[in-house]
Amino acid sequence: MMEQYIEIKLANPDSLLFYRMGDFYELFFHDAEVAARALGIALTKRGKHQGEDVAMCGVPVHAADDYLEKLIAKGYRVAVCEQMEDPAEARKRGSKSVVRRDVVRLVTPGTITEEKLLAPGEANYLMAIGRVKGTSENSYALAWIDISTGAFKVAESAADRLLGDILRVDPREVIVADPVFHDLELRSVFDVLGRVASPHPATLFDSAAATSRIARFFNVATPESFGQFSRAELSAIAAAIAYVEKTQISERPPLARPEREENSSTLFIDAATRANLELVRTLSGNRDGSLLKSIDRTVTGGGARLLAERLTAPLTDPAEIEARLDCVSFLQSETRLCEELRALLKGVPDMPRALSRLALNRGGPRDLGALRTGIDAARQIADLLSSAMLPQRLATCCSQLAELPETLREHLNLALAEEMPLLKRDGGFVREGYHDELDEMRALRDQSRRVIAEMERDLIEETGIRSLKIRHNNVLGYYIEVTANNAEALTGTDEAKARFIHRQTMANAMRFTTTELAGLETKIANAADRALQIELSIFEKLLAEVVSHADAIRAGAAALAELDVSGALAILATSENYCRPRVDDSLAFAIEGGRHPVVEQALRRQLGDPFVANDSDLSPEGDASHGAIWLLTGPNMGGKSTFLRQNALIAILAQMGSFVPAASAHIGIVDRLFSRVGASDDLARGRSTFMVEMVETAAILNQAGERSLVILDEIGRGTSTFDGLSIAWAAVEYLHEKNRCRAIFATHFHEITALAGKLPRLHNVTMRVKEWEGDVVFLHEVGKGAADRSYGVQVARLAGLPDAVVERAREVLRQLEEGETSGKAERLVDDLPLFSVAAKREATAPKANDALVEAIATLQPDDMTPREAIDALYRLKELAAKG
């Protein structure tokens, strides 16, 4: 057996081998040590190999999905090795023959289909990266598959945008050819991806053999019938297919034909911007607090996945965006219709994933039941919408629902029972009356159970043994059991011995059978087996019929997802008071009363406070042919970062086809969005916070064009004052003169505000504040003009710095602002008292007037007359004068 294990393990060196032994999957040697640590299970030892103990651990087969989930989440790959024959068959070859085993599937993060292992609202993409050098085509291409739904897409890419394109899709697993994986120019890309990316033999990505591989998988003469693909795209498509075939062994998932995405059709968001804006996850990796979480009102898994896809890939075609907005507007205006639609959608199961499991022979009766329920719901939704004056996109969805095969719907309803078991081997999923022979076998099986009970009653009356029982187990089958004290009645006479055949003696009981019971057992066994055999045959026929309609089912499921997203965005717009944006080909960017969609909801939920809305206008002015740049100044805690982000998020929401959190919005198409907000380092790659800031700023200045939207916060703060000021100054000039993009540039370098007089498209705006009794009040309002100070000391006091530190800071700041030190630290040290002296002065300050404190403590204001209160105030004044 261990020889067999080692042979199979050598064929799967990069996977943990789940080796089936009875009711357990066992792991041995290094695999056992890795799995025991990862799963927190006991590591044992058994036997010897080359003189050393063999490490061993195992997991129960019935709970394997739970353990697979943990391993996949940690990035491991698992080879599932099953027993391919019954142990009894192996024994026929000899007493020491080993049960034949083989790997039936490789489980990897990008190829899982089990319902328990998948998040309903998240896609589970496997991505392949293709590269072809020495051609005039783009050298890189990406192909990504969700094997759980059949989605298959492909797009070209380039080295400078590769990471951004990968993170847009957010794949769970990325496969790449060995030479590409070890290319030093791409090292930074794969460092970011970490364990998600893995190298594979270059033969998997052979573009010369790609055409034939794709044609063979889809059973077509040539993949040109799907569209025109570059060599890099063909390489990526073929690699993805080859990897799916490798991991699924003999099974073939029902993949859609590859659909090409044009780079120009979606808004490009680079990796840093995507992370900074926290579109689908926060910087800490959580969904809570992300933009997706705040806007998600979907009620189906397919709708949630489509919403995430739209959010991560906003459109750049105004006509397509308007078509999506028309759907949202229609459902927002038709409140009752929208409510009825969403009520029906709530009952729609995840049809694409059920279809995929069935096609891969991992599905069960409940997956057939899910398709029946989904197709029934689709028919009801089509009937609901049939009489409405729908926008074009919703009308198309309605027609796709109507095209779901009626014969399949009728057949599933006719064949399937109301209550479905989890496993097909349990039987009971075929409706009574569907199959005559099945009904007959079930009747015999169920009637025989009553006959057994009647036989038991007859034997009790005949023998007088009240404790006599007819039982069943897998070894003896049906048997008669009596206690040892009552066995004499069945063995005392020759007639009894002839009738009751002894089978087994227990400590306190004896077991018998009769010819009559044995005959009845044969009938029962044959009826139950035959009934299950018929049900399994029906299951296979239904499965084949379902898979034959895979394209129609996927199209119907896509229509349901689009209806769900449109309804969800309509509900969002109504509940959160969002407006319909105007999106066109201009360079306009005018937002009135804009709000941050995530912060607004958090404020209302946690504090009950309203969000302070602000306008922004980066549109070209007068004869200007390019958008404006706003130079934003103001104190920390004033709301600059929130204002920066909210404008970027409003642009994303508008171009994904959603209403936006504003009173009104006019947005000219943004083709590239860049954001440099926040501070972080990358110590693993030897980059300081300032270096990361400069790398990201360089990427923006090198790539932004006139249709870009750029959000920059505090450029140059990570170095000395004059270095930082000079870098920020030069960056503003470059954005204005070279990039000519729409931008908001936040800074604490107030000196840059002087540029507004020199650069015609640059405008100064500031976060308004008020000072009251020595405190600063943040109004969170954006207004024209420039800040005259940063209020950093006041913010430090609010943060809880010791009073001595705050006062010392005020003293130093006062001297600096008065210019008495002429910028020389030596002079400042001479002129200002040392901190230790200030602290000592504070420590030795006179204590409060004890008599005054005591007098105040004895006052009872609620019990005083006006005259008594006045007299008390005079007494306190006298005490204060004395102290």
Determine whether the annotation assigns residue 640 to a binding site: yes
Determine whether the annotation assigns residue 556 to a binding site: no
User: Which residue matches tokens 């063999």?
Assistant: 54
What are residue 132's phi and psi, to 5 degrees? -130, 125
Pick from 348, 301, 372: which is nearest to 545 by CA? 372
- Helices 550-576 and 318-333: crossing angle in degrees, nearest 10, is 70
Alpha helices in 577-717 (DSSP H): 597-606, 640-656, 689-703
3-state secondary structure of 517: helix
Is residue 480 exposed (0-12), middle (13-18) or buried (19+ Cβ within 10 Å)? buried
> Contact, 427 vs 410, CB < 8 A?
no
Give the pairing type, strands 709-713 and 742-746: parallel
Determine whether the annotation assigns residue 293 to a binding site: no
The total of other beta-carbon atoms located within 10 Å of residue 281's CB is 18
For residue 266, list its beta bridge partners. 315
Identity of the residue numbered 786: A
Alpha carbons 853 and 876: distance in angstroms, whole number: 9
The dihedral over CA atoms of 563, 564, 567, 571, expressed in degrees to the nearest 10, equals -170
Alpha carbons 378 and 311: distance in angstroms, whole number: 25
Identity of the residue numbered 20: R
Work out the angle at residue 686's Cα, subtended by the Cα atoms of residues 681 and 689, and round it to the nearest 5 degrees: 25
Pick from 336, 340, 355, 327: which is nearest to 299 by CA? 340
What are residue 52's phi and psi, to 5 degrees? -120, 150
Residue 817 in tokens: 């602002």
Determine whether the annotation assigns residue 770 to a binding site: no
Residues 6+ apart with CB under 8 A from 394: 327, 330, 331, 385, 563, 566
Alpha carbons 74 and 28: distance in angstroms, whole number: 19
Helix (H) or strand (E) holding 313: none
Give the pairing type, strands 582-584 and 614-617: unpaired
Please list the helix, strand and coil fractions of the chain in percent, rounded to the nearest 5, in that order: 50, 20, 30
Alpha helices in 403-492 (DSSP H): 406-415, 436-463, 488-491
Determine whether the annotation assigns residue 441 to a binding site: no
> Contact, 556 vs 318, CB < 8 A?
no
Give the pairing type, strands 775-784 and 762-772: antiparallel
Identity of the residue numbered 474: N
Identity of the residue numbered 379: R
Determine whether the annotation assigns residue 638 to a binding site: yes
> Contact, 755 vs 631, CB < 8 A?
yes
Determine whether the annotation assigns residue 846 to a binding site: no
Determine whether the annotation assigns residue 647 to a binding site: no
3-state secondary structure of 46: strand
Going by the annotation, the residues of the binding site for ATP are 634-641
Question: Which residues line the annotated binding site?
Answer: 634-641
